[in-house]
């Protein structure tokens, strides 16, 4: 049986060989060559496709960090190619959470921060307070400035910083400034007297007058529809001329009457929509736009970044009226959000979360430690934070006593010996000029009691106390006085004398004396 099977198998192989040889002969006759593969049949070849290599590997729902250090990109200029889908994908995945924000200080310094997508203006200010080592943690604000347009506004605490930055245009320069702003919520501190009754009423009954407190509370609670009205100068579109008119501000927007004092809805001309606009203070309005006075402000649409024809530039008669209109527009626009921002705890701002903002500690801060050199061992590191703070205060008081003693001891030379302890305080601004001090105080709020001290440029060995009262800056000369061979300072011709400038400031922070108001808010500039 096996022999028969082998014979049949061999016969079948011989027949197959004969068939193939016959096919080859036919092919040769037809001048056609057939090449057979020398290796077994394999699946069709797949061409390699580009794949996206990410820094993290995802496995079973968890992200595994790569232990291999990233390879630097040798061609960084290729990352900006608009048609490179792979590069765009990797860049979006890495930079979608955070972006870089550059902030300018009032002393000309700048600082770059890595800010998360949902970081608010309050959180960025808290971070800058920590990085700049500010002793005063309240009333700091982030300003949005357009230097070429002369526009400046204080960001609300709840505004998303990256959303504001995303609306900037490359055609117009814009930047953030970190500064004090004491007047941000002044209308909440003076609710009963902030708005005059002649400017506020009920829109449904214009003859029905309202108090300032009722006006603010109604805007917050949305119970009624109050309005504010008054005269303003408006710059005409595409013209250099200004025209005075009567304006009415309501929840629906800003209107201008076309018939004098007439407040009938039929005679109101729509001027600006507050929902899609922001109000700005104009710096140098008379020089940039030829305004009748310097008390200029502007309503700028958020979608427009630099076309002057779309800016609603207005001018008030006084600084107080400009402040009232800007405050009213903010209240109409945000309402209860402003009250929430005002009531937010300000005494101890929270430390920014590392997941949302950059690390609050700089490298220089991490390298500093508190030391105690009172012992014989040569010094020890103070680990207890409470003990370190107490030692810092004691050292500061001892320094001041040494300076005051050196100032008051016998110094019979013609040159007065002045203490330098005031130079370490943020309210002292060196040789700032009169005009610069007024601009700085105006920028930080123009609230009663705001002050700074500077050296006098006109009188040798004298200082100047610049104080804000009723939205005007007043200057008081601080003169040196000699009594019984000792050197003192005074602003009331020797009636009240002080051993140094610091003692003078501390006295008037508690007692009004001959000043119109106590010293309350120091004008501060920090270096970022």
Per residue in 204-259, pLDDT (tens digit) is 776 777 899 999 998 888 777 789 999 999 998 777 789 999 999 998 899 998 77
Query: Which two three-digit tokens encode residue 183?
Result: 């007047």
Burial 288-309 (b: 16+ CB within 10 A, else e): bbebeebbbbbbbeeebbbeee
Q: Which candidate, 88, 92, 98, 86, places its Cα nearest to that of 53?
A: 86
Encode pLDDT of 380-403 as tens digits. Answer: 777 777 777 777 667 666 655 555
**474, 482 Cβ separation under 8 angstroms:** no
Is the entire prediction scored with pTM above 0.85? no
Residue 147 has what pLDDT?
A: 93
Instruction: Tell me if the domain spanning 99-181 has CATH number 1.10.260.30.
Output: no
Four-way CATH pick for 190-344: 3.90.550.10, 3.40.50.1820, 3.50.50.60, 2.30.29.30? 2.30.29.30
Is pLDDT above 90 for 338? yes
Distance in angstroms (rounded) separating the CA atoms of residues 137 and 115: 20
Query: Quick one: 207 exposed, middle or buried, by C-beta within 10 A (0-12, 13-18, 19+)?
Result: exposed
If pLDDT is split at 50, 70 and 90, which confidence band does 296 have?
A: very high
Q: Which candidate, 244, 210, 233, places its Cα nearest to that of 282?
A: 233
Q: Which candidate, 151, 129, 152, places its Cα nearest to that of 140?
A: 129
Four-way CATH pick for 421-522: 3.10.180.10, 3.40.50.11860, 3.30.505.10, 3.90.1010.10? 3.30.505.10
430: left (phi over 0), alpha (psi -120 to 50) or beta: left
Partners of 233 in beta bridges: 244, 315
Helix (H) or strand (E) segment spanning residue 56: strand 56-59
Distance in angstroms (rounded) separating the CA atoms of residues 510 and 343: 26
Residue 94 has what pLDDT?
A: 45
Encode pLDDT of 137-158 as tens digits. Answer: 889 999 999 999 999 999 999 9
Q: Which candidate, 484, 446, 437, 443, places its Cα nearest to that of 465?
A: 437
Distance in angstroms (rounded) separating the CA atoms of residues 223 and 335: 12
């Amino acid at each position: 049986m096996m022999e028969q099977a082998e014979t049949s198998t061999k016969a079948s192989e011989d027949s197959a060989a004969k068939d193939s040889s016959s096919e080859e002969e036919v092919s040769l006759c037809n001048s056609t060559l057939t090449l057979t593969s020398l290796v077994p049949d394999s699946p069709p070849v797949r061409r390699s496709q580009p794949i996206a290599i990410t820094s993290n590997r995802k496995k079973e729902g968890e992200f595994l960090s790569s232990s291999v250090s990233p390879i630097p990109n040798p061609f960084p200029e290729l990352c900006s190619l608009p048609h490179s889908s792979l590069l765009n994908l990797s860049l979006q995945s890495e930079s979608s959470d955070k972006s870089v924000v550059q902030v300018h200080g009032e002393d000309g310094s700048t600082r770059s921060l890595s800010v998360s997508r949902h970081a608010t203006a309050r959180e960025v200010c808290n971070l800058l307070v920590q990085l700049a080592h500010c002793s005063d943690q309240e009333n700091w604000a982030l300003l949005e400035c357009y230097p070429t347009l002369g526009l400046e506004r204080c960001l609300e605490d709840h505004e998303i910083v990256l959303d504001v930055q995303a609306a900037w245009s490359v055609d117009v320069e814009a930047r953030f400034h970190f500064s004090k702003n004491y007047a941000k919520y002044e209308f909440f501190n003076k609710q009963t007297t902030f708005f005059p009754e002649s400017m506020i009423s009920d829109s449904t009954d214009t003859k029905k007058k309202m108090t300032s407190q009722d006006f603010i509370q109604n805007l917050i609670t949305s119970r009624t529809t109050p309005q504010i009205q008054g005269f303003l100068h408006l710059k005409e579109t595409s013209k250099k001329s200004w025209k005075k008119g009567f304006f009415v501000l309501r929840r629906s927007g800003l209107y201008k009457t076309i018939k004098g004092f007439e407040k009938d809805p039929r005679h109101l001309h729509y001027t600006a929509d507050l929902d899609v606009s922001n109000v700005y203070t104009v710096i140098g309005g008379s020089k940039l736009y030829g305004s009748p006075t310097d008390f200029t402000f502007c309503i700028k649409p958020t979608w427009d970044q630099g076309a002057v024809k779309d800016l609603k530039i207005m001018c008030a008669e006084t600084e107080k009226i400009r402040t009232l209109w800007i405050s009213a527009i903010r209240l109409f626009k945000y309402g209860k959000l402003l009250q929430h921002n005002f009531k937010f705890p300000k005494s101890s701002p929270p430390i920014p979360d590392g997941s949302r903002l950059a690390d609050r500690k700089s490298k220089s801060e991490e390298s500093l430690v508190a030391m105690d050199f009172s012992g014989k061992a040569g010094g020890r590191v103070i680990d207890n934070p409470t003990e370190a703070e107490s030692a810092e205060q004691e050292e500061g008081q001892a320094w001041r006593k040494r300076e005051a003693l050196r100032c008051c001891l016998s110094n019979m030379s013609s040159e007065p010996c002045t203490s330098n302890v005031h130079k370490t305080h943020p309210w002292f601004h060196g040789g700032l000029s009169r005009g610069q001090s007024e601009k700085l105080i105006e920028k930080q709020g123009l609230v009663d009691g705001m002050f700074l001290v500077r050296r006098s440029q006109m009188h040798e060995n004298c200082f100047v106390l610049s104080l804000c009262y009723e939205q005007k800056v007043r200057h008081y000369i601080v003169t040196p006085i000699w009594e019984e061979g000792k050197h003192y300072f005074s602003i009331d011709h020797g009636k009240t004398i002080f051993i140094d400038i610091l003692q003078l400031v501390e006295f008037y922070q508690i007692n009004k004396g001959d000043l119109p108001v106590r010293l309350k808010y120091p004008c501060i500039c920090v270096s970022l």
